[in-house]
Amino acid sequence: MKTAFGMALRFGGFLFACLVLQASAAEGDGYPSKPVRLISPFAAGGSNDTVARIVATEVSRGLGQQIVVDNRPGAGGATGTDYVAKAAPDGYTLLSGGMGSLTVGPSLKKLPYNTLTDFVPVALIGRVPHVLASHPSLPARSMKEFIALARKNPGKLHYSSGGVGSFNHLAGELIAAMTKVTLVHVPYRGGAPAATDLLAGQVELSVAALNVALPHLRTQRLRALGQTGAKRSSMLPDVPSIAETVPGYDVTPWYGVLAPAKTPASIVSRLEREFLGVLRKPDVQEKFRLQGAEPTGLGSAQYRELLRTDLQGWKNIVVDAGIKLN
């Protein structure tokens, strides 16, 4: 009995040691040992860039290494997204991914990456309510007035976007398709320059993120015709949703963090824990809200399911609305 008991103790101790070593390995074998790059596939100053910088600062503390936001704009976000798809799967190059380049763009054209096979989702971090914003010179104060004006002036109203295939491009195309009006799309390299020309009156309209539009809405340099979500946001309770005039219109972009496919599960798990953890901090939540963003945490598995659902949903929207890139 004593011998058997002693053997059991020794085996138990050996098993415990193995589990400890395994847990240590699960932390990524010393990961991270150098700074991590978080690629934002849009220009500095836009909503993707802003949200990326908020979480990068906080997650850097938890990881013990700096997360550097690296802007690589172009092709509606496809340039930076593809850069991460082809990066080494070692956890040192991550993507601040958005709906436009990950689910909307692939619904319109063949891209050099596959959202579901070239990436491993880490965590969804937030949603950014958008508005259809107009320059105050536009003689319309509501969606109903805008639709009537656009129908009387086909092809004479212009809207800016952060690039061909970007979220605000497709959101504008969807508005045009569902209201049966003709608008002229003016693409820019990122949301910031698109907003600049809207403020200058070079274009009349843009589907803009709240973190870009809100300060100008408050000073009446821009006017909000409607919100893009199915319901009014608590951030702008007096501004109707577009769906109140155009039933069925519901598009709110999200942002998440992804890594290249084949990134070790231990590293993905560590990153998932860190990114979701910072979203629970009141100061981070407040920073999100100040930028017009809503912190929304989903883990890796749930985020993957969202990607699958959104890809199919946007394909249906593109087909039903007849949206095509020129």
The string of pLDDT tens digits covering residues 131-187 is 999 999 999 999 999 999 999 999 999 999 987 777 788 889 889 989 999 999 999
pLDDT at res. 26: 44
The Cα angle at residue 243 between residues 305 and 187, in degrees rounded to 5? 75
Give the best-scoring range by mean pLDDT among 92-96, 235-239, 296-300: 92-96
> How far apart, in Å, are the Cα atoms of 34 and each of 49, 85, 265?
22, 20, 19
Q: Is the per-residue pLDDT at 246 higher than 90?
A: yes
Average pLDDT score over residue span 320-324: 68
Which range among 45-54, 160-169, 190-199 shows the weakest confidence by mean pLDDT?
A: 160-169
Look at strands 119-127 and 158-161 and give their pairing.
Answer: unpaired
pLDDT at res. 325: 66
Q: Is the per-residue pLDDT at 210 higher than 90?
A: no
Which range among 88-92, 122-126, 168-172, 219-223 shows the weakest confidence by mean pLDDT?
A: 168-172
| pLDDT tens-digit map of 2-41 | 454 454 445 555 444 444 444 434 444 699 999 999 999 9
- pLDDT more than 70, % of the chain: 89
Average pLDDT score over residue span 231-236: 83
- CB-count exposure of residue 317 (10 Å: 0-12, 13-18, 19+): buried
CB count within 10 Å of CB 249 equals 23
In the three-class reduction of DSSP (H, G, I as helix; E, B as strand; rest coil), residue 310 is classed as helix
Dihedral in degrees, nearest 10, Cα atoms 286, 289, 293, 295: 40
Go through the domains of the chain in sequence order and give each one's CATH number.
36-127+253-321 (3.40.190.150), 130-244 (3.40.190.10)
- pLDDT more than 90, % of the chain: 63
> How far apart, in Å, are the Cα atoms of 42 and each of 13, 49, 101, 223, 314?
52, 7, 10, 25, 21
pLDDT at res. 55: 97
Q: For helices 47-63 and 265-278, what crossing angle results, to 10°?
A: 110
Average pLDDT score over residue span 48-65: 95
Structure-token match 């608590």, residue found: 234
pLDDT at res. 211: 72
Q: What is the value of pTM for the model shown? A: 0.72
CA end-to-end distance (rounded Å), the chain: 81
pLDDT at res. 321: 64
Single out the residue of 220, 246, 43, 241 nearest to residue 129, CA to CA. 241
Joined tokens for residue 163: 């690039």
Joined tokens for residue 130: 């958008």
